[in-house]
Amino acid sequence: MNTGRGRRIMTRRLAAAGALALAAGASHGADRPNVVLIYADDIGYGDLSCYGAVKVKTPHCDRLAAAGVRFTDAHTVASVCTPSRYALMTGEYAFRKKGTGIASGIEGLLIHTNRTTLASMLKGAGYATGVVGKWHLGLGTNPTDYNAPIRPGPREIGFDSAWILPATGDRVPCVWVENDRVVNLDPADPIRLDYSIRRGDPGSFVNGIPRIGGQTGGTAALWKDDEMSLVIAQKGCEFIEKSKGAPFFLFLATHNIHVPRVPNPRFKGTSECGVRGDAIVEFDWIVGQVLDKLDALGLAGTTMVVLSSDNGGVNDNNGPDAAHGIGDPDGTNGHPPNGPLRGTKGSVWEGGTRVPFIVRWPAKVKPGVSGALVSQVDLLASLAALTGQAIPAGQAPDSRDHLAALLGTDATGRETLLEQSNGGAPFGFRHGPWKLLPRGDGKKGGGGPALFNLADDLGETNNLAAAQPERVAAMTAELAAITGQTAAPAADAKAPGKAERRKRR
């Protein structure tokens, strides 16, 4: 081959490759952003200063909100962790799959490997995908064997890489898992778990803190509780650095602010509401580390950052351990985790599922505040629309494309919204500003449905069910159509009396 001609051909090929790379990069920046989903644990609607908190300051979350859209009516699917994460990842309400209540540390992978997930969809769109932090969706097969390769796991459902804590900080095992192996595990000191041990029993203590279940072995692999936030921030930033040359999706799921709360010494005393508030400040620091990394790499303008939480907040203790809960003595100082909302984590009041939700993408999103009704179950379909991906038939059955709401151009969002508790029922159901609790408001003597107009009763205090029987009946039927449960008669919204209850037995 003529050397000069060969060089000219090579030059043309390199030029064409460069043009393609530039075109891909332009497309990436303009229409296919990097996606960083920061998913807090137990951060409530009133826990961030951009949502009204006054006894704890969150400047990094605040600057994210100031540059993006801050949503005031955004919801998790469930009021506890595992079902919220399942719905987020699969686009399917968790109540539809048996066994998606709060998972133990030895639960097998809850998401079938043939399901389309948020990660697998974005991977199909050419994204590098990684998860860092809390997983709590099961690993391997039941019961999980942590002394062998742990499969299936995140990499079998769409993630290229994983650095995770398997379940929660208050459940054994207390180890990090990288991809499919426990980090620093010594084969001569295998992990042994016993879930018959209750938190607070002598055998439940790991690192001096009581856990749910007991763990022996794996000594060299144990995490350090007061360094968990530092590790999660570091590993998240490392993924961003490694993936900066192509579109990437990072699911950064923090342990903060779940119990046990063991903030790093640098954060102790940084809030006015005790150890729980200090853990919020620590969470905010993680957010700041991610935002600073994006800034340093020049990626802030081409990255969609979504910040939310897996359920509402709660002033809880680590079982019998108050020091790593709300403090001993209680240091919450009157801070309301869910602001003006009624209820907490674990309930289907608004305080159980209405959570902070912020979207920043400077290239497309204008800063502002949105009252659109938003559900995390819709992230899969919305990001599929953004990246031009088709969702296979039968997959993500409950996820809907509400990209316009996420970008701040649709002020309405969903018309209806389902809220579930741990295993499904009791449910809450929204239709616009109206909220139905089919099982009532929990007051003594109650038992009939409860209906609230959140437009003028955000705290869910004025039960209008008796005055609005037709609305109760219509919303009950709508909920039944989603859940597959028979709609109970609702024409008489009052609780049945004793004589009537005896007749029904």
The reported pLDDT for the residue numbered 28 is 53
The reported pLDDT for the residue numbered 486 is 57
CA dihedral defined by 7, 8, 13, 14, rounded to 10 degrees? Answer: 70
CB distance 283 to 339 below 8 Å: no
The reported pLDDT for the residue numbered 441 is 66
Burial of 466 (0-12, 13-18, 19+ CB in 10 A): middle
pLDDT class for 474, splitting at 50, 70, 90?
very high
Please give the Cα distance from 174 to 116 (Å, whole number): 29
Q: What would the two tokens of residue 302 be?
A: 């081409």
Q: What three-state secondary structure class fits 311? A: coil
The reported pLDDT for the residue numbered 4 is 45
The reported pLDDT for the residue numbered 423 is 84
Residue ranges of the chain assigned to CATH 3.40.720.10: 31-409
Active site residue 237: no
Over 80: is that where the pLDDT of 213 sits? yes
Write out the H or E segment, with its range, that includes residue 30.
helix 3-30
The domain made up of 31-409 is a member of CATH 3.40.50.10490? no
CB distance 135 to 255 below 8 Å: no
In this prediction, residues 246-255 reach a mean pLDDT of 98
Residue 354: partners with Cβ closer than 8 Å, 6 or more residues away: 45, 73, 74, 75, 312, 338, 341
Quote the DSSP letter at residue 265: G
CATH fold label, 425-504:
Arylsulfatase, C-terminal domain (3.30.1120)
Distance between alpha carbon 165 and the CA centroid of its chain, in Å? 15
- Of the residues 136, 258, 324, 402, which is catalytic? 136
* Mean of pLDDT over the chain: 91
- Of the residues 81, 174, 237, 273, which is catalytic? 81
Could you report the per-residue pLDDT of 85-113, keeping only the tens digit for each? 999 999 999 999 999 999 999 999 999 99
pTM, two decimals, is 0.91
The reported pLDDT for the residue numbered 161 is 98
Over 80: is that where the pLDDT of 23 sits? no
Active site residue 112: no
In this prediction, residues 243-268 reach a mean pLDDT of 97
Other C-beta atoms closer than 10 Å to the C-beta of 288 total: 17
CB distance 424 to 439 below 8 Å: no
CB distance 416 to 478 below 8 Å: yes
